[in-house]
Amino acid sequence: MTAFNHVITRLEDLRAIIEAPPPRGRAVLKELPALDPHARAFIQLSPMVLVASAGADGRCDVSPKGDAPGFVQVLDDHRLVIPDRPGNRRLDGMQNILSNPHVGLLFLVPGRDDTLRVNGRARITRDPDLLARCTAQGKTPALAIGVEVEQVYLHCAKAFLRSRLWTPDQWPARTVLPSYACMVFDQVRPADATVNDYEREIADANLTKLY
């Protein structure tokens, strides 16, 4: 593999290329230490949050968490709770939190090109009262991620505008890529199953095992 060339390793060199924002400019002043009414409203309308974490060894993970809008519970201006719904049971992010509590959250609202970033310290909780607040479709999660908020700011729309993420006529046809089941089958190469078995199992799990 070819090594990356012309690598930047010092902040001074980085800032020589990209100038720092003015200290009294919007990009700096918009950062808050807690959730304000706008941030709380954004979270209430968000059906999807991306949770970034890193382990003690520095290996990173970004895990999507999604459910009906408002599934992330805001306890107050400094605390929120993200329920853990059934998934692949790898627990990559939660294992990271056990050794390094720092997390970064990116909240999305469909159709909006701006996003909300929340950074803080996370803990895995089994608090029955908190878990009860996260009940959905009659199912109470076994675990949740509690986050102590340290940094909050709205992120501008440029990335989403460039990507045209919410523009349907820019979306690729679903047939451009093989199905999820087909791609995973090619990666796993199981000796005791067919791609049709994978298609059926995944379709059934998507229908019956969301909660």
Q: 48-96: per-residue pLDDT in tens?
A: 999 999 999 999 999 999 999 999 999 999 999 999 999 999 999 999 9
Same domain, 145 and 192: no
Taking 70 as the threshold, does the pLDDT of residue 162 lie above it? yes
106, containing H or E segment: strand 102-108
Same domain, 38 and 139: yes
Please report the pLDDT score of residue 1 as a whole number.
58
Specify if 75 maps to a domain: yes
Domain with 55, as residue range(s), is: 26-163
Same domain, 119 and 187: no
What average pLDDT does the chain have?
Answer: 96
Average pLDDT score over residue span 160-171:
96
Taking 90 as the threshold, does the pLDDT of residue 2 lie above it? no
45, containing H or E segment: helix 37-45
Specify if 14 maps to a domain: no
Same domain, 45 and 140: yes
Specify if 19 maps to a domain: no
pTM of structure: 0.95
Specify if 9 maps to a domain: no
Specify if 184 maps to a domain: yes
Which positions ≥6 away from 157 have C-beta within 8 Å? 112, 113, 114
Query: HSE on the CB side for 97, CA within 13 Å?
Result: 21
Judge whether 120 and 147 are in contact, CB under 8 Å: yes
Same domain, 101 and 201: no
- Residue 106 has phi, psi (to 5 degrees) of -125, 110
Same domain, 86 and 156: yes
How many domains does the chain contain in total? 2
Same domain, 192 and 153: no
Average pLDDT score over residue span 45-50:
98
Same domain, 92 and 177: no
